[in-house]
Structure 1
Amino acid sequence: MHFPNLLNARDLGGYPTVDGAQTSWRSLVRADDLAQLTAEGVRALADYGVETVVDLRWPEEAALYPSPVPAALPQVRYQRISLLTHTEDEWRLRSRDVAKELWKCVVLEHVRIELRHVLSAIAAAPAGPLLFHCVAGKDRTGLIAALLLALADAEPQAIARDYAMSSANLRDAYLKRYAGADPQRIVEALRCPEEGAYNMLQFLADAGGVRAYLAQIGLKEHVIERLRGRLRS
């Protein structure tokens, strides 16, 4: 898939599942910041059939770089639901010194209300293609993607590879974009270790499985089933 100026967009269809099937195409798309889209990119979004956009950015991020979707694609259902905490500063205070390998587990443990809101919105959306994104499309977006893939019984290796893919997708463009910065710091910031995904899956297993975890954060069974149906039609 190609949305001009996006670096980290991909359909979550075609991933192998533990029972030998594949996840459904043209249902869920993960991406980086839609504010980067060119006019051609906005048209490509419409041509792909995207019906719903869930914007996971903080209010400060959305205010600084507004999404083009509401004005350019009024037919698309647009929701901004801040994942993590309500502001960037608040999250920084709560997540200092968290190793990337454990980041997802920290979020699953401490950001349950926000996760419930985001997942409920995805479950309640019309059945057509839904795109969710943050800024780089790797951490917040990667967490939601990993949860949905786990619920669809995607193979653990596929979930880990999807998470790690973001580093390669972003690296060259970010090194050019921030040419005056320390390249090692950029590379470290973009790191998405597969171990982080495996640790998240172990966290879910320790909670009784992904379904049990989603029930613990307050999702009803019919909502969980609707979420699973997104990738297992």
Structure 2
Amino acid sequence: MRERTLAWDGCANVRDLGGHSIDGGGTTAYGAVVRADSVRRLSAAGWRQLVGYGIETIVDLRMHEELAADPPDAVPVNVVHVPVLPEPEWPHWPEINAISAAAADGVTSTRDVYLAFLDRFAPRFATAISAVATAPPHGILVHCMVGKDRTGLVVALLLRLAGVPAEEVAADYAESEANLRELTQPWIEEAHDEGERARRRRLAATPAESMKGVLRELERRGGVAAYLSAAGVRDDELAAIRARLRG
């Protein structure tokens, strides 16, 4: 089996979505979709690696404010900007924070916040999925800032739609925590007290059980395809995702 983790110079959390088992047999195709942290971190050598891997479309999930703070340079691929979460001034962020604070533990907190995102911003997530579905038939890369939360949710929807078992989807999501440790550990350690360090540890974690909980709830409601259809993804786009990832 090919290595799914990709060492592209400048990025820390790059993985190919190929090689996952599919319900009913077969595996997902390599080179179809790659997940990553912000490609703005890539060096010139890293960009050559990205282009050499066959990536021709990037789906950027970052907020407008993040783009303004880190404006994109000219890049040798097509970039589609799909902010799946609202800007920091969105008035209902305190409600999301309250959902997190009310949870009994970190695993539950992450699950509940992710479900709140999927519920409140379903049309945005649908737009991201449609962007992947309608991209030209070459490699696609999906990224946000660290490739963990927004990217993790979009990738989970893609993989489940392709028929990858929930356990494998959750295991892929969980890999981000270790990949990002060199970035997150200094941020955790510089916190002013233990309470804040604990909060940052929770934010840096990617527990597989959280993603399993998200997927269980989506299945209880009818499944990922039903969620995306209700949010606005067309049937032909759902079929295109399956065809792209199944190869």
Shift of residue 107 of structure 1? 1.7
Tell me which of 72, 75, 83 is aligned to 2:75: 72
> Percent of aligned positions with the same letter in both sequences?
35
Contact 2:188 2:201 in 1 (8 A): no
Cα distance in structure 2, aligned partners of 1:7 and 1:94: 31
Aligned equivalents of 2:220, 2:188: Cα separation in 1:
40
Whichever residue aligns with residue 29 of structure 2, its letter is: S
Please give the alpha-carbon distance, in whole angstroms, between the structure 2 residues aligned to 1:101 and 1:209: 16
Matched, 1:83 2:84: yes
Deviation at 1:133, TM superposition (A): 0.4
Aligned AA (2:88): E
CA shift digits 1:1-20 (9 cap, x unpaired)? 22111111100000112223
- The amino acid across from 1:19 in the alignment is G
Per-residue deviation, residues 56-105 of structure 1 (Å, max 9, x unmatched): 0001111112234xx131xx1111111122x1231634521321122221
Within the candidate set 30, 36, 39, 2:41 is matched to 36
Q: Secondary structure at the match of 1:29?
A: strand
Task: Please report how far the alpha carbon of residue 161 of structure 1 lies from its aligned counterpart in structure 2 after TM superposition.
Answer: 0.5
8 Å Cα contact 1:105-1:199 kept in structure 2: no
> Helix, strand or coil: the match of 1:46?
helix
The offset of 1:178, in angstroms, is: 6.4
Shift of 1:180: 2.7
After superposing the two structures, state which structure 1 stretch, 223-232 or 136-145, moved more: 223-232
Contact between 1:101 and 1:193, CA under 8 Å: does it hold in 2? no
TM superposition shift of 1:136:
1.0
Decide which of 186, 197, 201 is 2:200's aligned counterpart.
186
The RMSD of aligned alpha carbons is 1.7
Q: CA deviation at 1:185?
A: 3.9
Task: Please report the TM-score for the alignment, with normalisation by the length of structure 1.
Answer: 0.91
Asked if 1:197 is matched to 2:211, the reply is: yes
- Separation in 2 of the partners of 1:185 and 1:203? 25
Distance in 1 between the 2:217 and 2:135 partners? 28
Larger mean Cα displacement after TM superposition, 154-163 or 199-208: 199-208
Amino acid at match of 2:69: L
| Contact persistence 2:37–2:146 (CA under 8 A) | yes
2:177 aligned to 161, 167, 178, which one? 167
Greater displacement, 98-107 / 40-49: 98-107
Structure 2: how far apart are the matches of 1:172 and 1:63? Answer: 25
Counterpart for residue 23 of structure 2:
18
User: Does 2:124 correspond to 1:114?
Assistant: yes
Give 2:138's aligned amino acid. G
Q: Secondary structure at the match of 1:96?
A: helix
Query: C-alpha distance in 2, partners of 1:7/1:93?
Result: 30
Question: Residue 55 of structure 2: SS of its match in structure 1?
Answer: coil
Aligned length: 228
Cα separation, partners in 2 of 1:132 and 1:94, compared to 1, 3 Å: farther
Structure 1 residue corresponding to 2:138, chosen from 128, 148, 157: 128
- State the partner residue of 1:92: 93
Equivalent pair of 1:7/1:32 in contact (CA under 8 Å): yes
Change over 3 Å in CA distance of 1:34–1:67 after alignment to 2: farther
